[in-house]
């Protein structure tokens, strides 16, 4: 697969991942029935797996090393934080914690999007 096709695949799966993330998060805030649906669970994890594989493949194809590219290191750290916030949303017993984690996840996603498009580090 050429670089541009892989990049488009990565972006498409990033969008699908975000849609599924918000679907599950909003469902948890409401009844939780959709979030508990096995099909949604499997789809979410399948999409995230393809997203991760495409991300690693892009980095390898472009010879990007996170230790040498501060924006990429920040993006990786923020994606890990985003995943952790997803766990907080899923495991929290109070709506306040779930909403707080959802707001922080949204800010994290915006920062990831900025880093992906601008390729300028925010902190490092």
Q: What is the pLDDT along the chain (124 residues), one digit of tens a residue?
A: 899 999 999 999 999 999 999 999 999 999 878 878 899 889 999 999 999 999 999 999 999 999 999 999 999 999 999 999 999 999 999 999 999 999 999 999 999 999 999 999 988 7
Q: 38 and 1 in one domain?
A: yes
Residues 59 and 72 in one domain: no
Query: Structure pTM?
Result: 0.89
Q: Which of 13, 37, 63 is the endpoint of a domain?
A: 63
Q: Give yes or no: residues 83 and 110 share one domain.
A: yes
- Whether 116 and 70 map to the same domain: the answer is yes
Which residue range is the domain that position 2 belongs to? 1-63
- Split into its structural domains, the chain has a count of 2
How far apart are the C-alpha atoms of 9 and 45, rounded to whole Å? 16
Residues 77 and 121 in one domain: yes
Do 78 and 53 lie in one domain? The reply is no
Torsion on CA atoms 51, 57, 60, 66, rounded to nearest 10: 10
């Amino acid at each position: 697969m050429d670089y541009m096709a892989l990049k488009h695949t990565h972006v498409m799966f990033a969008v699908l991942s975000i849609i599924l993330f918000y679907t599950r998060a909003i469902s948890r805030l409401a009844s939780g029935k959709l979030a508990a649906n096995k099909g949604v669970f499997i789809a979410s994890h399948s999409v995230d797996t393809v997203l991760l594989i495409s991300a690693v493949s892009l980095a390898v194809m472009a010879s990007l090393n996170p230790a040498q590219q501060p924006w990429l290191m920040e993006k990786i750290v923020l994606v890990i934080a985003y995943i952790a916030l997803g766990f907080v949303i899923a495991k929290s017993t109070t709506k306040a914690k779930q909403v707080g984690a959802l707001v922080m996840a949204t800010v994290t996603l915006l920062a990831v999007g900025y880093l992906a498009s601008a390729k300028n580090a925010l902190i490092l």
